[in-house]
Amino acid sequence: MNQRTSFLDKLAELVETLRGEHGCPWDKKQTPRAVIVYLIEEVYELADAIESGNTEEICEELGDVLFHIVFIARMFQEEGEFDLQNVAQTITEKMIRRHPHVFGEQMVQSSEEVIQNWHRIKLKEKKTTQMTSLLDSVPANLPALLRAYRISDRVAKIGFDWFDTPAVLGQVEEELDGVRAAETIRDGDNLSQKFGDLLFSVVNAARTAKIHPETALAGSINVFEKRFKKMEESILEGNRNFEDVSTEEKKQIWAEIVSADPE
């Protein structure tokens, strides 16, 4: 047994000890539903680490995610449902099944064809479930931006699409006009709906341009955050409080920062 395998075994044994008779009181009382919130937090921390490019942090955060996966699997093993080996077996078989161009005889010419084949195979798999809609496979608890992208992508794969970016951008313009109209009459409920329609159409536009909206938005937020911190530093260097600087001067400082750092 190589060292990498032994460390995975040690992790599984560690979790078993934590959940055992002489283990940790907190760990022993956990349930899968209670732990899932920590797993979600760890995944977001992993995403932050990947964005930062710090490999040490990425390795550490991957470990945190792995720990929670092993922990959840252990809880189901204790109930006699499945164990970590079953989890590994299931995903291995699924990946082999969904990559017939690698593990079978199928030929593909592009990554786009791989995606199309993946979707067809997945649809065949889902026919054995109790789903009544194609959209049932999109988790209801996904953050709204990610869920909008998934739903947009799902319906596009079965032909319900605007087909190209210019057409979808036209839809964005229509939704923006709807926002303007709702804002003019000060209809709060309708305005909220129109903003939602606008955001959904922007997500759809990003998808047709082959840009993931979550990645795009995360990048824009990072740029804004960096520029805003520079503005704060500029004001602090003048021994002034941010709140005491006029809006017009803040706009001027911001414009100078943007021109020097166009990104």
When the pLDDT of each residue in the chain is averaged and rounded to a whole number, the result is 88
Rounded to an integer, the average pLDDT of 248-252 is 93
CA distance 103 to 228: 50
Report whether pLDDT(57) > 90.
yes
Least confident stretch, 15-24, 51-60, 135-144, 228-237: 135-144
Q: How sure is the predictor about 37, in pLDDT bands with cuts at 50, 70 and 90?
A: confident
Give pLDDT, residue 246: 93
Three-state secondary structure readout of 196-242: HHHHHHHHHHHHHCCCCHHHHHHHHHHHHHHHHHHHHHHHHHCCCCH
pLDDT at site 162: 66
- Residue 3: the pLDDT is 62
> Above 80 in pLDDT, residue 255?
yes
For 18-79, give the DSSP string: HHSTTS-HHHHT--HHHHHHHHHHHHHHHHHHHHHT-HHHHHHHHHHHHHHHHHHHHHHHHT
DSSP secondary structure code for residue 133 in this structure:
S
pLDDT at 262 over 70: no
- How far apart are the C-alpha atoms of 205 and 148, rounded to whole Å? 11
For 166-187, b/e burial (b = at least 16 CB within 10 A) is eebbebbeebbebbeebeeeee
pLDDT of residue 128: 56
How does residue 51 score in pLDDT terms, banded at 50, 70 and 90? confident
More confident call, 23 vs 1: 23
Give me the pLDDT at residue 111, please.
86
Q: Is 163 helix (H, G, I), strand (E, B) or coil?
A: coil
CA distances 150 to 15, 157, 196, 200, 235, Å, are 34, 11, 16, 11, 42
> How far is it between the farthest Cα atoms of the chain?
71
How far from chain centre, in Å, is Cα 79? 30
Flag whether the pTM goes above 0.75: no
Q: Which residue has the higher pLDDT, 162 or 197?
A: 197
Nearest to 75 by CA among 15, 135, 126, 123: 15
Contact 75, 30 (CB under 8 A): yes
- 22 φ, ψ to 5°? -105, 25
pLDDT at 186: 74
What tens digit of pLDDT does each residue of 82-140 get? 999 999 999 999 999 999 999 998 998 888 888 888 878 877 777 655 556 777 778 88
The reported pLDDT for the residue numbered 65 is 97
